[in-house]
Amino acid sequence: MTDVLVVGSGAGGVHAAWPLVERGLEVAMLDYGNEDREYASLVPSEPWLALRTTDESQHRYLLGDRFEGITLGGIRVGAQLTPPRLFIPADTERLTPVDSATFSATESLAKGGLAAGWGAGVFPFDDADLAGAPISAADLAPHYEAVAERIGVAGDDDDDLRPFLGECRAMMPAMAIDSGAERVMARYAAQRERLNAAGLFVGRTRLAACTREHRGRGPHRYFDMDFWADDRRAVYRPRWTLDELAAKDGFELRDRRLVSAFREDESGVVVTTTHADTGEREEHRARALVLAAGALGTVRIVLRSLDRYGTPVPILCNPYTYAPVLNVGMLGREARDERHSLAQLTAIYRPEAADGRIVQAQYYSYRSLLLFKLMKEAPIGHREARAILRRLQPVLGILGIHHEDRPSARKTCVLHRGPEGGPDRLAIDYRLDDAEALRHDREERRLFALFRRLGCFALKRIRPGHGSAIHYAGTIPFGPEGKGLTCDRDCRVRGTRRVHLADGAVFPYLPAKGLTFTIMANADRVGTLLANELA
Amino acid sequence: MRNGAETVPEAEDEARLRAEAVAFTRYLIRDEPTPEVSARYAAANRTLLGGESTARERALLATCLARPWTLPFLDAVEARRQAPSLLRDKVLVMSAVLETTTRFGARFLPLKRSGPVLLLELAVLGFVAVFRVAGGMVLVRVLPGLRA
């Protein structure tokens, strides 16, 4: 009999499976397993600018064979995904539908889950970030280290972000930043004390990327192709861990399976699935189950399994705003073409009297995305837009801002039975209260003012809508004993014997920091606890 | 369905799409499209823009093709409206197709400019952009069928 079934191959699934397999347990991973079979082989291992002038077939992966890289109409969630990344949300509208007028959900049935398109930012949580959870930063510390060693993390261990991100012994040297970020950092260094006193702290983004060879991956070659391809596997994707797991004894990937529900009996857990290709219903048995299907996927499975249709549960997602900025420090300067496409800098803004609460921003340069996407947003004719934006592109940056999120009665999701033969539908209602919206507005304005001191002037503030951060959490959170639809300290769903959660569903509070690295560390913790119990 | 909408025939006239490709390429980069680029533009249209269009949208498009000098003005005034626009969508599709070719792609890559030259060019381009919008507003009033 299989020891543990793990549902999902994303950030949570692979890192929950790892310690179980390492301890010699038999693990089977159930996953739908979509992957890119069209474009990966077409993208040359060349720098962005070189292939733009030499590769005759660039239109195939830049626009897509069905022109899926051209998005018409208004700004919508997921529009930033390039054709080689569009396998990530594929099939979800059909198989895992969401109804909402207030929230745009992006889910994934891909190998590697949503983290197949992760921005790779590594932001360990401190005790304040774990508010409401019965675990501390100290509980997660060994798991952060284990995951950091497994995935490869590059960063600066001695900059102004360290008090917020802590130490990481496994860290590789930081990724080199590009010319625009260098100018920002030069201005920051010149005014550091005043900016720190105002609550702003800036440093290079810690990234799950290899700056030297690590477990057969990397080093990163600065081709500026990170939105399009996974050159040398230098940037971490859960797929790389999945491939390592697949080579180990005791691990089996049962892919093309869509999980419906679980039930427990005297011998363990039974999970029902539907085969993606044959439509065949199957049952899988094991001693224990780890659900890591993402906060939305997992809550679907739990509510269906416990027959809690129509019961509202909480949902969290970091409110997100982004702004194109003019980095005037780049005026008249040549931008180096050798660069990576991920977040160059991370800024942490700690408002006065915020009780440890922070706002987090990432600075990107706009280089390896296509100009027509910017032209579309310009309120002028395309010809002038092209001429202006070509000139502005070297000085153009993007500031992405994340706010914390807390549960409220206005942020809920409910599972409804699907129509006869159709999939169940998750209804999401997500609204900020006025105080939250006002606070975000005030803190964004303050952050923009501080960035003006760094030479970055925001042109426009864009709020792509609730759900756009794609940091979903809190659907089956840690909760006190006796409270239904919560989990205990070991992430065991209350009311079950051996059904554990290993994704964002368990976190009752979302700090402004990105959640993905903490999902991985907590999954490693859950896998370790379960291994101790079962081995 | 938008006001006054009509369904465009599924097999949109190839010659008309190629004429659009020529007009839009001349407008965007003052060049002629290659046959391959025109064919790709036509294919993208069939995939992305095969749906409905309003009488006004068709009139705008017809005006731009019959009098290509109006295109910069009507494109600019449509941009200012910030409403769904078939003309804007078609010009955007042409931009995307041109940008992803080795022959024309360099004309969408960043330009390096010194600070003073950049500021001067931006001022001139800004003035031109405003002039286009103003001219477009006049055209929409005087040419038949273009009022929103």
Residue A393, chain B, CB below 8 Å: the answer is yes
Residue A384, chain B, CB below 8 Å: the answer is yes
pLDDT band at B4 (very low <50, low <70, confident <90, very high): very low
Residues of chain B with Cβ-Cβ distance to A53 below 8 Å are 102, 105-106
Distance, in Å, from the CA atom of A258 to the CA atom of A90, rounded to the nearest integer, reads 13
Residue for token digits 């807390």? A406
How far the first Cα of chain A sits from its last, in Å, is 14
**Number of Cβ within a 10 Å radius of residue A429:** 18
- Greatest CA separation for chain A: 72
Residue in A53, A334, A370 closest to B102 by CB: A53
Residue B121, chain A, CB below 8 Å: the answer is yes
Give the chain B residue whose CA is nearest to the CA of A336: B112
Tell me the nearest-neighbour CA distance from B114 into chain A, angstroms: 4
Residue in B48, B107, B114 closest to A67 by CB: B48
Residues of chain A with Cβ-Cβ distance to B100 below 8 Å are 58-59, 62-63, 370
Residue B43, chain A, CB below 8 Å: the answer is yes
φ/ψ (deg, to 5) at A360 = -120, 135
Q: Which of A:69-88 have CB within 8 Å of B?
A: 69-70, 72-73
Residue in A55, A67, A370 closest to B99 by CB: A370
Distance, in Å, from the CA atom of A220 to the CA atom of A136, rounded to the nearest integer, reads 33
Binary contact (B122, A388; C-beta < 8 A): yes
Nearest to A478 by CA among A64, A132, A130: A132
Nearest to A295 by CA among A138, A33, A508, A75: A508
Binary contact (B72, A383; C-beta < 8 A): yes
Q: Which residues pair with A154 in a beta bridge?
A: A172, A207
Residue in B28, B114, B128 closest to A382 by CB: B28
Residue A23, chain B, CB below 8 Å: the answer is no
Antiparallel, parallel or unpaired: β A313-314 and A456-458: unpaired
pLDDT band at B14 (very low <50, low <70, confident <90, very high): confident
Q: Tell me what the mean pLDDT of segment B2-12 comes to.
A: 49
Residue in A52, A56, A58 closest to B109 by CB: A52
Binary contact (A372, B111; C-beta < 8 A): no
Residue A335, chain B, CB below 8 Å: the answer is yes
Which stretch of A303-307, B74-78, B142-146 has the lowest confidence by average pLDDT?
A: B142-146
ipTM, two decimals: 0.92
Cα separations in angstroms, A145 against A79, A151, A169, B17:
34, 10, 7, 58
CA angle A168, A511, A238 (to 5 degrees): 55
Binary contact (A381, B75; C-beta < 8 A): yes
Best to test chain A binding among B20, B38, B74, B99 (most A CBs inside 10 Å): B99
Residue in B40, B113, B133 closest to A59 by CB: B40
Binary contact (A391, B113; C-beta < 8 A): yes
Looking at residue B113, its pLDDT comes to 87
Supply A171's token pair.
Answer: 């860290």
Each residue of A335-356: b (16+ CB within 10 Å) or e? bebebbbbbbbbbbbbbeeeee
Whether B8 shows a pLDDT value over 80: the answer reads no
- Provide the residue-wise pLDDT of chain A in tens; the chain has 535 residues: 899 999 999 999 999 999 999 999 999 999 999 999 999 999 999 999 999 999 999 999 999 999 999 998 766 666 678 999 999 999 999 999 999 999 999 999 999 999 999 999 999 999 999 999 999 999 999 999 999 999 999 999 889 999 999 999 989 999 999 999 999 999 999 999 999 999 999 999 999 999 999 999 999 999 999 999 999 999 999 999 999 999 999 999 999 999 999 999 999 999 999 999 999 999 999 999 999 999 999 999 999 999 999 999 999 999 999 999 999 999 888 888 899 999 999 999 999 876 778 999 999 988 888 999 999 989 999 999 999 999 999 899 999 999 999 999 999 999 999 988 789 999 999 999 999 999 999 999 999 999 999 999 999 899 999 999 999 999 999 999 989 999 999 999 999 999 999 999 999 999 999 999 999 999 999 999 999 999 8
Distance, in Å, from the CA atom of B97 to the CA atom of A157, rounded to the nearest integer, reads 44
Residue in A56, A381, A393 closest to B110 by CB: A393
Looking at residue A254, its pLDDT comes to 97
DSSP state of A394: G
Residue for token digits 């934006």? A389
Looking at residue B9, its pLDDT comes to 53
Binary contact (A55, B80; C-beta < 8 A): no
